[in-house]
A and B are shown apart, each in its own frame.
Chain A
Amino acid sequence: MNSSVIPKYQTEVPGHFRSLFESLESRLNGEKDLVFHQLRKKGSNRLLQIGFPTTRNEDYKYTALNRVFNENYYLPEQVSLDEQDEKAIRETAKKCPETDYICFVNGRYTPSLSSISSKDYTVLSLADQSEESELKKEAFQHIEKNLDESDNPFVQLNTALCEDPLMIHIKEGKKVEKPIQLIHYYKTGGESVIACPQIFVVAEENSEVNFLETHLTRPETRSEKIFANLFNRIVVESGASVVHHKIQDLGTEDFIIHNMVASQEKDSHFYAFTADLGSRITRNNLEVHLKNSFTQTDMFGLFVGGARQHIDNQTYLDHAIPNCESREWYKGVLGGRSRGVFNGKVLVRQDAQKTNAFQQNNTLLVSDHARMDSKPQLEIYADDVKCSHGATIGQMDSEILFYLKSRGLNEQQAGELVKIAFLAEVFESVDNEHIRKVIADVVVDNLREIYE
């Protein structure tokens, strides 16, 4: 990395986003004094201080962001959706039957395309301050704290440019029966667009909720790029359970940086699943903080890369409290000239006795030019713990392929079966039958693509 690049990441690129923030500010008339706008300002200022990381930063060692930042982005204008767009959204919603769905177009909550039937939770726009509420106040406090504490420039960027932050509040003791789909649809109107949706989920005590987040676009309709920079903040109160699935299938020239921070209270359960299939550069920053004992945390992920895709999964799990359990398992198949990165960090602090942490990353390389960099890290300061991690990288076992071929499968069928079986270990951890099927289908489709 030559030294001329660094000032670019420190001033030029943050400066570009600063001008976007200013144009957003000028669009707001009487809303400048609103609480959320002050947060935007804070995020924007912090971003100028922090700057963006280069590959010299240990956490970005394997992921260069030049490609993302070489583009000039604009804030999305109101785009009108045509019939095809709406059809795509409806079809996606229907794939998983019996769900509520909340639709975002370029990061903006779009009620007309959403369907909310359950009374067990409420959806609030945080930018709209026509009504005061305790909930919102609490949300602002959380977001502010997060901005102060986070060194992640993408969280700051998200807040700076987020037009319509949304809060999903699950009421105390309520078990939301139907899964909630969060459908993110992206469309450009002649210019490359940066979309910054922010979703703030609070699951109150003993509540239960199940999300399916989908990222969707029709890349064939445009030549411009999408840069999706999301931030999900999830608060899991005592005894609550939040299950979050994500399917990301953007166009092969798009970029997505997905930031998710969860905090867990006593006896709570948090499950995160990600399936990364599309986009040119994918970066997932998943962070879980444990606030009290007897929690269960699961992080599962699968990725399928082809062409020149770059998929980077970063996870950070902070075991600060005794008697907590975590499982982490990421599996991927890489073909073409794709690159995968896994950087998982489990921190077990001194007081976190009786921690039980498991971390694993397995990758199949199926082409000569694919590349995987894996860095499963353990940092342990407590002695009465059980922690293990493992990583394997390799190709398909020729003996298994031979076995399948001897049973009459052709080369391609055998290969496909092995890959699906390989990834199935991860997506079979998905509890909800419908969601599991949706994931399985889209994974199989994508595996076929990298084969061709």
Chain B
Amino acid sequence: MSDSMQTLEKHTKSEYKYGWTSDIEMDTIPKGLSEDVVRMISAKKNEPQWLLDWRLEAFRIWSEMKEPDWAKLNINPIDYQDIIYFAAPKKQPKLNSLDEADPELLRTFERLGIPLNEQKVLAGVAVDAVIDSVSVTTTFKEKLSELGIIFCSFSEAVQEHPELVKEYIGSVVPRNDNYFAALNSAVFSDGSFCYIPKGVHCPMELSTYFRINAANTGQFERTLIVAEDDSYVSYLEGCTAPMRDENQLHAAVVEIFAKDRAFVKYSTVQNWYPGDKDGKGGVYNFVTKRGLCDGYRSRISWTQVETGSAITWKYPSCVLKGNESIGEFYSIAVTNNHQQADTGTKMTHLGKNTKSTIISKGISAGRSQNSYRGLVKIAKKAENARNFSECDSLLMGDRCGAHTFPYIEIENQSGKVEHEATTSKIGADQMFYCTQRGLSDEDAINLIVNGYCKEVFNELPMEFAVEAQKLLEISLEGSVG
């Protein structure tokens, strides 16, 4: 026991790998939020009038809303006037190739291990990198555009494809959806836009990389994915932030619109700075993610590995509107030290013969609190809807908490809903079996935790799966209570 506690301690004390800052010249606006700030952001981005109006309306809605307090989270009050709502790497003359980019910026991405360099074709990932709210560079753009795929920063999309943006923005997550979505709608600075035309199977993984760099900034990016009939795309998202003592706010919105027989797979490895081991600093990750399965047989699959953030408040959900549409949610949420997570999913069944699967694996260690909160709703007209939910929690250490709050609302008798959840620690018998076979305590825990998370790892694209497993090892290994 004491051995493993030591190992746990060693690992929990291991420092956040991505905690450095980059000295990139930043273009920021003064702190605070007001209508003028919204106008300023919009003007900086040279946005059309309709988008400014859209933002201003969102700001009005936000000012009338109250911060939600229902989550099982202990949040230090956020001063919304003490945040810089826009920070971008200083504009340089338009670049023709990556070589001309700020070398400091390139180094940043190198340290992050992001294959920005297009020569790394082998990696086969198209990346849209977002630093402090602004999309810095998008790779593989030309190759994608041959197929008619639009993959660019949100601001580019506003300029070049305004009709698409106008049609779909807010169609899945309306401005008045919740407090943080309203805030994001008012001040979002950039993000990614992705459009997959009819019948196109996107040949590579599309990836967005988010990083908060400047101090006192909030990151408010917005991702919009539109998948036309019979299309397919797999989308990856990764995030890091420097170590800072104060909390940083990240309030993003992700919208996915899937039409007939389209399949969108959205994977996240979230590794925002979780704060130090005394719970100081770290990112507040308040994100609204929702996919609308609008078309017949459309399918949206969320996979997330959440290891970072001081506080996570996030419920990637699916609205299953099209008949026979499918929603999936695979999640691993790891909390350590003083981290708090209130995360889960919402599956709203509206169409006939819709199916949803929820697999959620929570691991809590240290003094962290980890909650699963999920809603499965089968509306009156959703005939033969089917849901299976499994939420397991693993506790490591006697100071942490694991909570499960499933909401199940069924209005149609033909629905079939199963929910099960277990909470336990790693069994002494499991440990005994492994160590008796010659594994060290640490390897045994790794093996058991990996096995425990296997169902979710299997859903991740390969590059991510490797990264996720490593992350998990760093966050946790070596704990048996």
Contact = CB atoms under 8 A, between A and B. Distances in A.
Interface of A: 58, 62, 350, 353, 363, 365-395
A393 B403 contact: no
Interface of B: 70, 72, 380, 393, 395-425, 481
7 smallest CB-CB distances across A and B, nearest first, come from A365-B413, A383-B395, A374-B408, A394-B416, A390-B420, A391-B419, A387-B423
A373 B413 contact: no
Contact of B70 (A58, A366, A372, A383): A58
Describe B's contact surface by its main secondary structure: strand
Contacts, number: 116
A378 B404 contact: yes
18 contacts: A365-B410, A365-B415, A366-B413, A370-B413, A373-B409, A373-B410, A374-B407, A376-B419, A377-B405, A379-B401, A380-B395, A380-B403, A380-B423, A387-B424, A391-B418, A393-B408, A393-B410, A394-B415
Given A375-B407, A378-B403, A388 B398 contact: no
Nearest to A382: B398
A370 B410 CA distance: 8
A372 B417 CA distance: 11
Nearest to A350: B398
A384 to B, nearest CB: 6
Given A374-B408, A375-B408, A388 B422 contact: yes
Given A350-B398, A375-B405, A384 B481 contact: yes
B354 to A, nearest CB: 15
Given A363-B410, A388-B422, A393-B417, 14 more contacts: A368-B412, A372-B409, A373-B410, A374-B419, A378-B421, A379-B404, A382-B398, A383-B397, A383-B400, A384-B398, A387-B424, A390-B421, A391-B420, A395-B416
Contacts of A376: 404, 406, 419, 421
B408 A373 contact: yes
B410 A388 contact: no
A350 B399 contact: yes
Contacts of B419: 374, 376, 389-392
A377 B413 contact: no
B397 A387 contact: no
Contacts of B413: 365-368, 370, 395
A366 B410 CA distance: 12
Contacts of B411: 371
Contacts of A369: 380
A377 B398 contact: no
A371 B421 contact: no
A353 B425 CA distance: 11
A381 B395 CA distance: 9
A371 B70 CA distance: 25
B406 A377 contact: yes
Contacts of B405: 375, 377
A353 B398 contact: yes
A379 B423 CA distance: 10
Contacts of B422: 387-388
Contacts of A395: 413-416
A363 B418 CA distance: 11
A389 B404 contact: yes
Contacts of B393: 378, 380
Nearest to A363: B410
A372 B408 contact: yes
Interface centre among B72, B409, B425 (most CB of A within 10 A): B409
A366 B413 CA distance: 6
Contacts of A366: 413
Nearest to A364: B413
A380 B418 CA distance: 22
A381 B412 CA distance: 36
A392 B403 contact: no
Contacts of A387: 422-424
Interface centre among B409, B410, B420 (most CB of A within 10 A): B410
B443 to A, nearest CB: 21
Contacts of A368: 412-413
Given A380-B393, A383-B396, A387-B422, A375 B406 contact: yes
A235 to B, nearest CB: 29
B417 A380 contact: no
Contacts of A375: 405-408
Contacts of A374: 406-408, 410, 419
B403 A388 contact: no
Contacts of B416: 392-395
A371 B411 CA distance: 4
A240 B409 CA distance: 39
B77 to A, nearest CB: 22
Contact of B425 (A363, A365, A377, A384): A384
Contacts of A390: 418-421
Nearest to A379: B403
A378 B424 CA distance: 12
Contacts of B414: 395
Nearest to B401: A381
A379 B395 CA distance: 12
Given A373-B408, A374-B408, A389 B421 contact: yes
Contacts of B398: 350, 353, 382-384
